Amino acid sequence: MTKKNKKNRKWIGILSGVCIFIFAIVILGWNTPVANINIVGNIYGTEEEIENQLFPTNREKSYFSCLIGQVFGVKHTIPSIQQVQLKFKRFDTVEVNVYEKGIVGCIFYMGQYLYFDKDGIVIDSSMEQLDGVPIIEGIKFNKVVMYERIGTESEDIFVNILNLTQILHKNNIKMDKAYFSKDLKATLYYGNIEILLGFNDFMEDKIAVIASIIRNNGFDGLEGTLDLQNYSDTNNEYLFKKKEEK
């Protein structure tokens, strides 16, 4: 065998060894799960629930899968989550930042609280009512399916529900309950206060009044009814009637 052939065989052996080593690393990387996955940023879903949804198998938890997710972004199909970002804190630890969709309201249906987002899509369910999320009552729903838009008797009903709950969410007002009558008049309940909103007109202005009262602790220690039904851009008067003591 010539010296040239021996040299070529040597390099082939080295390259083969390197290829086998790389192949072994890839196989190991794809099949070895990251030891620690820390979920941060979640408000509604628990860490365990989100981890199980994002990483249902060891393949999704593998080093290479998480590394690709960090570099190129994580693709997910969880309706309650808007965005996910991965970051390696150490070689064996990945931090998962989740950005959940905002829950604007809920309904009680078939023994569960079903929570919906600003588009009316049911994104979560629970046996307990989350603090500060208003429960919607007085409306009959003809279609309630997880991860789908809530169905109502008419689009007008749905528009009013979403309009009110989104305005409350935007102003960071946490009501206990919202009731809609058959003629679509809305009533809110905040502790011992009943708030008559009436029809959907000037709802932004009406909620702004409520926000101002809450900021100034105007409802503290009170029990009664706040009437905003006739409030408008030309009529800035409203009435508060204390509940008479028995």
**What digits encode the pLDDT tens for the residues 232-241?**
888 888 888 8
Question: Residue 114 pLDDT more than 80?
Answer: yes
pTM over 0.85: no
CA–CA gap between residue 28 and residue 47 (Å, rounded)? 26
CA–CA gap between residue 51 and residue 123 (Å, rounded)? 16
Whole-number mean pLDDT of the chain? 79
CA–CA gap between residue 192 and residue 185 (Å, rounded)? 20
- Taking alpha carbons only, the member of 68, 62, 59 closest to residue 86 is 68
* Phi-psi map region of 111: left, alpha, beta (phi>0 left; psi -120 to 50 alpha): left
Question: What are the E-state strand segments in 23-111?
Answer: 36-40, 81-90, 93-100, 105-109
- pLDDT for the residue 24: 45
Is residue 75 within 8 A of residue 95, CB to CB? The reply is: no
Give the distance from CA 44 to its chain's centroid. Answer: 7
Categorize the per-residue pLDDT at 63 as very low, low, confident or very high, splitting at 50, 70 and 90. Answer: low
CA–CA gap between residue 124 and residue 215 (Å, rounded)? 30
Distance set, CA 129 to CA 33, 105, 111, 152, 175 (Å): 35, 10, 11, 22, 12
- At 130-183, the pLDDT tens digits run 887 889 998 888 888 888 888 887 778 888 888 998 899 888 888 899 999 888
CA–CA gap between residue 2 and residue 180 (Å, rounded)? 93
- pLDDT for the residue 189: 93
Question: Residue 9 pLDDT more than 80?
Answer: no
CA–CA gap between residue 137 and residue 177 (Å, rounded)? 7
CA–CA gap between residue 88 and residue 217 (Å, rounded)? 45
- pLDDT for the residue 20: 53
- pLDDT for the residue 143: 82
- At 171-224, the pLDDT tens digits run 888 889 999 988 889 999 988 899 999 988 999 999 999 998 888 887 888 889
Q: Of all residues in the chain, what percent carry a pLDDT higher than 90?
A: 12
CA–CA gap between residue 198 and residue 246 (Å, rounded)? 28
- Stretch 38-64: mean pLDDT, rounded? 77
Q: Where are the alpha helices (DSSP H) in 32-154?
A: 47-54, 58-61, 63-72
- pLDDT for the residue 245: 53
